[in-house]
Amino acid sequence: MRFTFLGTSAGTPTRRRNVTGLALSCDESRDWYLVDCGEATQHQLLASPYSLAKLRAIFITHVHGDHCYGLPGLIASANMSGRTAPLTICAPDGIEQFIRAAFLYTDISELRFPLEFVRSDATEFHFEDAQVAVTATALSHRVPCFAYRFEERPPRHLLEEKLDTRAVPRGPLWNQLQRGEDVTLDDGRVVPASEMTADAWPPRSIIVGGDNDRPELLEDAMRRSQVLVHEATFSEDVLAKVGPKYMHSTAAMVAKSAARSELPNLLLTHFSQRYRLGDGDHVEHSIEDLRREAQQHYTGTLFMAKDLETYQILRDGKVVPLTG
């Protein structure tokens, strides 16, 4: 699995960082998923390998503009580029209305592809396709906000010993089982695919959080995942000054929760625009300050997200940056 940060700035863009968006794909597949879609997400995609034609689904964490104002333009561009495949949008209440209103008032009466809306604030929310299974966890923010946990669905390999024990003849029936279809033998016995196959490798999973001032809400999910991408809008000293009203996390808060959950890989993002990429005397607030704050509480693998940086989750669950 790999993922690319399309924006790492909280609230407003800066000259070098866009507002929130993250692209996620499964290994070699060109199909991909988008989590959040701040303004100019489609612009960032032009500088990435992800194609609008191959976008399978969009997941929006919450209705704040820096997480969703890129939706009308991205969908309109997909439409103009001739996309016909359906597009699923999983989002809390408000996002479907926002998109429909945008199209109503801007002369888009019909798209060339169906938009399928799924309410991610519904208790039974669950998204699944051939590649991933996605669930949501409610967070704590000024509006309903969610984290999405993506678990990959690895290819299944055949358990040959079991097939021999059950005397399933090699050939088309094995292929059928590998595709996940149960088979019926000549003697009438039904052989379920789930028992005759196993994941080719342990499924990897990643949580991508929205805005949240209680990272501990994700500890259960973290214990079952290799990776967390979470906001760290402020450092502790800045939070002490601005106060809790914006309902964001500090680097320390997230680091402590990740440490308690024994999470192996933590990626911090959504930095207030006051934090600069550089370090040194001329920079009052630096993203390096946030890194140092997190490192005081967390000894796992830690990355500070940068726009257009891509990371790979290896099959053993390690996370490595991909260069170039």
Residues contributing to the site for a second copy (CB under 8 A): 11-15, 18-19, 39-40, 42-43, 46-47, 63-66, 68-70, 72-73, 76-77, 80-81, 94-95, 97-98, 101-102, 104-108, 142-143
**Closest separation in Å from C-beta 162 to a second copy:** 52
CA angle at 215 for the pair 213 and 219, rounded to the nearest 5°:
160
- Residue 186 counted as an annotated binding residue: no
The nearer residue to a second copy, 47 or 314, going by C-beta atoms, is 47
The nearer residue to a second copy, 80 or 122, going by C-beta atoms, is 80
The nearer residue to a second copy, 52 or 263, going by C-beta atoms, is 52
**Closest separation in Å from C-beta 258 to a second copy:** 28
- The b-or-e profile of 174-199 (16+ CB within 10 A means b, else e) is bebbeeeeebeeeeeeebebeebbee
**Closest separation in Å from C-beta 227 to a second copy:** 28
- Residue 43 counted as an annotated binding residue: no
- Residue 157 counted as an annotated binding residue: no
Residue pair 268/233 in contact by the 8 Å Cβ criterion: no
Q: Of the residues 27, 31, 36, 66, which is catalytic?
A: 66
- Residue 281 counted as an annotated binding residue: no
* 237 catalytically annotated: no
Long-range contacts formed by 128-134: CB under 8 A, 24+ apart = 128/153, 129/56, 129/57, 131/26, 131/29, 131/31, 131/56, 132/26, 132/33, 134/33, 134/59, 134/90
**Closest separation in Å from C-beta 10 to a second copy:** 10
The nearer residue to a second copy, 62 or 204, going by C-beta atoms, is 62
- Residue 297 counted as an annotated binding residue: no
Residues identified as active-site: 66
Annotated binding site for Zn(2+): 62, 64, 66-67, 141, 211, 270
Annotated binding site: 62, 64, 66-67, 141, 211, 270
